[in-house]
Amino acid sequence: MFSFVSSSPVLKALVLPDVTFTGRKIGAGAYSSIEEVVLSGAVCAGKTFHVTLQDLSQLSRADVESATHQFIEELQLMSTLRHPNVVQFLGVCLEPDGSAHLPALVMERLTCSLHDLLETNPSYRAKPLVPLPIKCSILQNVASGLAYLHHRSPPVIHGNLSARNILLDSAGRAKIAEVCEAPFIQNMGTAATIAKASLYMPPEAFCSTLSSKETSKTKSVYSTSIDIFSLGIIAIFTLGEALPCEPLEPTYTDKESGLVKYCTELERRSHYLHPITDLLNQGHPLLTLIQSCLCNNPSERPTVDVVLVLTERAKSMCAGGGMNKLELIASLQSLPGNEVAALRARNHELQQELETCRAEKLKLEEQIVMKEAQLATAPESLRQVSCMVYTTM
């Protein structure tokens, strides 16, 4: 199979001859890992898939050929994508570590993911880490990149959109990553499993089990509306700085009638919307965005053009406020991935220390109130002496 891949004219045209893997890990997922690479002196990112020849040998010849063709087709499509809000694919590197892996994907290196940025702001933080103008800008960037993909002919459907594959560059601009990867990972069948972010997926995505043997089902489930739903969840996470990871059950028992009723996708996440409704005024474009994107019926969700208009309107409403984007992500620029967890832990410690100081402050204030009450009932001569003591302190 690998000789077949390497003999493809399309693939040969995408091979980058001067790629060096530095050994520095950037991230890892269920089906791939990302390392820092150097391409002609420029620092980039290289994605290596976990699937190997040995894994693929367990599939039938027809499945292997189907997966191979899908892989090459998606690579060719990725090479044609050019947009400021889509991560730039640069080419491939064959067998980077000498093993029989699929070609590594080489792309531009970015600073951090939206998920990592928001995760530095745990729920116990009283003040939001990311100001509203920056949030509006990020959501507008994502909508712009998604509009570019959906307006292609045929439309390019991401199918696995989440805050983890929304990346930020050094200027704070958001870009969509992992475009075109969902289809050929699914076509690997049991050899590799796509890390579908179920929290971001609409109900129709779970209607059938997708595999390389169910191509027609894959096409019917993967419509542009699946990305619109995912964007709605990303908006909840971005605005509320809390991932809606514990939605209510899809059904509940009505207390009055005792009947089992179904919750809408919006109702299931209602408890995550309360902080957002406190942040935004009623009728705010982003509230409209969330409510419409989370419609259970795919046909009732807005098109990407409507989403783009709503995010641009929200961005213009917030223009002129907030902080410098470079300041926002400066602390993450120089941090290796494994230091982010340490930063979060230290932040938690500082928050606990702050709570302790606040408790001690309250005790001191109570003591002052008690002393002042005692002073108010004391003889006049004693009050004068006490006042002299206070003024000299």
Q: Which residues are annotated as a binding site for ATP?
A: 47
CA-to-CA separations, 193 to 63, 97, 186, 227, 324, in angstroms, rounded: 15, 22, 7, 19, 39
DSSP line for 113-137: EHHHHHHTS-TT-SS-SS-HHHHHH
Residues 305-336 as b or e (16 or more Cβ within 10 Å = b): ebbbbbbbbbbebbeeebeebeebbeebeeee
For the annotated binding site, the residues are: 47
Residues 87/179, Cβ–Cβ less than 8 Å:
yes
- Residue with the two structure tokens 């002393």: 371
Report in angstroms the alpha-carbon separations of 319 from 314, 316, 323: 9, 5, 11
Alpha-carbon span 374 to 119, nearest angstrom: 49
